[in-house]
Structure 1
């Protein structure tokens, strides 16, 4: 037995098959679209090809990967358990809901499912920006139980995006209070700014706060807001219009640091 296992991953419709040791470290990966098996160590060539055999199709090139950038070296050194990049939008909510498959029927819809709907929609829109040089990380956990719903890194800088489900309701944003429908005002903007501040501390770079209102019927902002940007869910793609802040190498370097779970342990 070689002790190797194949771990398939999907991101933005592209499949990559990683070959891992029992401790989770990668020794190779198969890029089906490129028809290439990238070996990190030629010593395991035969074992890698043997375990990948059922998955290989067509003509395949085998060899060392292209010379990695510093950001790629950081990613390759990450243990899978510490890599946040595979997180789905709403990962924390999805995990919590999956743990309660037999929960009794609620008289009212579980608010977490509505929150998940918002995070899924906004997360999908943010993932769509990858083709124009942006990266999105989802459900970044912070000490104390808080989390950044979405962290977006691209040419226009860094944004900590918080989503709020407000479908078919009127929203009034009067800094720092946010009122949804007939509900009680909540100082939500303090949390949105606080999450961005903690992200700035972790990454030693400016992270700007964004509140996305998912499905709002009407939004009223009676006065000026301090720092926070308010967007409707259909406006999320507009973040890609910002540019001139970070160079591509800086984007990749910050993404490499941000995707490491250990980066967030002391904020």
Structure 2
């Protein structure tokens, strides 16, 4: 009997155990979260299960890998340089800070670092919605140097997010202007809606604009808001309860389209 080797791996937060032949070829893998053992060589099923026995944590489904969907096939054909899915929250800022670090002797905190903290806080909240059927992309580049901080796709629709750092400040919203503390007002909502409109054009579906305000002492909304939600970052998870707009197949199709960098060139 040929000895099989089990190699554990982690990818995008998912734990998998690959079963390899002595020459390194893969003949099976165990997806612990899905509770499934995918076997490429059915004749060796029992050998595979014996090798995986110490790693199995409960009942499992055993069989050939499921037939990939259209969205999965599109993902497999996507060149890594064009795949936005690996982007971390604040990816563009992380790269900018790596290229041009904050001077050691600088007295004031680099604004980019505050913005990064905001994007990371909102991005982490969005990523935690995945078990409820939502998919998230971060730091989506737009032609001309702009970007979407986050794009959320799920049962309740598609949402374009802008994360606003406002720690220990009061935020006043008078559409389209947003004022943080005593700083001059800026047309943040107008720019956000424009970015959402560009996403709508790229994905050919309705995209809702959401301003997520991070760690403000208070949010003062004066007057009606036009086609925009303004949320405290602690309220972001409440969007997970929305449903009735996109089916699971629609979500995966939109996600596959949105993760392709080339999709955004049409905006």
Using the size of structure 2 for normalisation, the TM-score is: 0.80
Q: CA deviation at 1:105?
A: 2.9
**Hey, what does 1:204 align to over in structure 2?**
204
Once residues 163 and 27 of structure 2 are traced to their aligned partners in structure 1, the CA distance between those partners, rounded to angstroms, is 37
C-alpha change, 1:220 and 1:28, in structure 2 (3 Å) is: farther
**Hey, what does 1:142 align to over in structure 2?**
142
Q: Which runs of 5+ in 2 are unaligned?
A: 1-8, 19-25, 42-50, 56-60
Query: Residue 164 of structure 1 aligns to a residue in which SS?
Result: strand
C-alpha change, 1:240 and 1:122, in structure 2 (3 Å) is: same
Q: CA deviation at 1:29?
A: 9.3
C-alpha change, 1:101 and 1:9, in structure 2 (3 Å) is: farther
Is residue 131 from structure 1 mapped to residue 131 from structure 2 by the alignment? Answer: yes
8 A contact 1:151–1:158 mirrored in 2: yes
8 A contact 2:168–2:217 mirrored in 1: yes
Alignment of 1:49-198 (within 5 A): 58=52, 65-101=65-101, 103-198=103-198
Query: Residue 137 of structure 2 aligns to a residue in which SS?
Result: strand
C-alpha change, 1:200 and 1:164, in structure 2 (3 Å) is: same
What are the superposed Cα offsets for residues 166-211 of structure 1, whole Å, 9 maximum, x if unpaired?
0110111001100000000101111110110000000000000000
C-alpha change, 1:30 and 1:260, in structure 2 (3 Å) is: farther
Query: Residue 113 of structure 1 aligns to a residue in which SS?
Result: helix
Q: CA deviation at 1:64?
A: 6.0
Query: Residue 265 of structure 1 aligns to a residue in which SS?
Result: helix
Q: Which runs of 5+ in 1 are unaligned?
A: 1-7, 19-26, 43-56
Using the size of structure 1 for normalisation, the TM-score is: 0.80
What are the superposed Cα offsets for residues 70-114 of structure 1, whole Å, 9 maximum, x if unpaired?
111111111111111111111111111122358443221011111
**Hey, what does 1:246 align to over in structure 2?**
246
Query: Residue 145 of structure 2 aligns to a residue in which SS?
Result: coil
**Hey, what does 2:47 align to over in structure 1?**
none
Higher Cα radius of gyration: 2
Is residue 10 from structure 1 mapped to residue 11 from structure 2 by the alignment? Answer: yes
Aligned residue pair count? 236
Alignment RMSD, CA only? 2.7
Q: CA deviation at 1:15?
A: 3.9
Q: CA deviation at 1:14?
A: 1.6
Q: CA deviation at 1:30?
A: 5.4
